[in-house]
Copies of this chain bind each other. A is one copy, B any other.
């Protein structure tokens, strides 16, 4: 799961990033509208968390521009301006949800989950392949009914692969899903994770295999 947090207050941004990260999501950060507009076409985000009061304008003005380049990214507006009229104008600007500060982080999470379940994203809540199942809401993998715990990065790899189970996932896409664009990784780190994940899947007898296609990427398949 890959998010963009558009927020100018460093503390708030950092708090959000680390909290989201603790829930196994990758959150990039932009502190101005301009920065956000550059990052959105590049990273393929699953959702955007948007503040209103930004140094170079109202966050709401970003929404139409987002819709222009990628129509279906969910946007959650997260702001101190929580009066009724502001909520309404926010939603009418194209936001998918509107949450007023102060807020409970748990509610933000729930609204994120809700917003990403939307049909635009045709995202099933749980995927199953072979003996392996992955609950995308609770970020928890299972083999049959046994818990199958994974470190953060490996879980991100598995998630990206399972979301397109049975289809090729280009290496580039995987890289973006596992590492944000902030961290640039130059070496074969992804290969390491794939390797480790392969071993664990085999040890747990998960009934799935990761096939690599040279020059393209990886694919998760049911074992034969």
Contacts and interface: CB of A to CB of B under 8 A. Distances in A.
Interface string A80-110: 0000100110011011111000001011011
Interface string A92-133: 101111100000101101110111011111100100000000
Given A84-B104, A215-B152, A114 B139 contact: no
A19 B95 CA distance: 23
Q: What is the copy number of this chain in the assembly?
A: 2
A146 to B, nearest CB: 11
Contacts of A195: none
A135 to B, nearest CB: 8
A213 interface: yes
A55 to B, nearest CB: 26
A107 B119 contact: no
A104 B84 CA distance: 8
Contacts of A216: 139, 152
A76 to B, nearest CB: 11
A18 interface: no
Contacts of A168: 138-140, 147
Contacts of A121: 72, 119-120, 122
Interface in A140-178: 140, 147, 149, 151-152, 166-168, 170
Contacts of A22: none
Contacts of A94: 114, 117, 125
A68 to B, nearest CB: 11
B138 A167 contact: yes
Given A96-B117, A139-B216, 17 more contacts: A72-B119, A72-B121, A84-B104, A87-B107, A88-B107, A92-B114, A96-B115, A97-B97, A97-B114, A98-B114, A119-B120, A119-B121, A138-B170, A139-B168, A147-B166, A147-B168, A151-B215
Interface of A: 67, 71-72, 74, 84, 87-88, 91-92, 94-98, 104, 106-107, 109-111, 113-115, 117-122, 125, 137-140, 147, 149, 151-152, 166-168, 170, 213-216
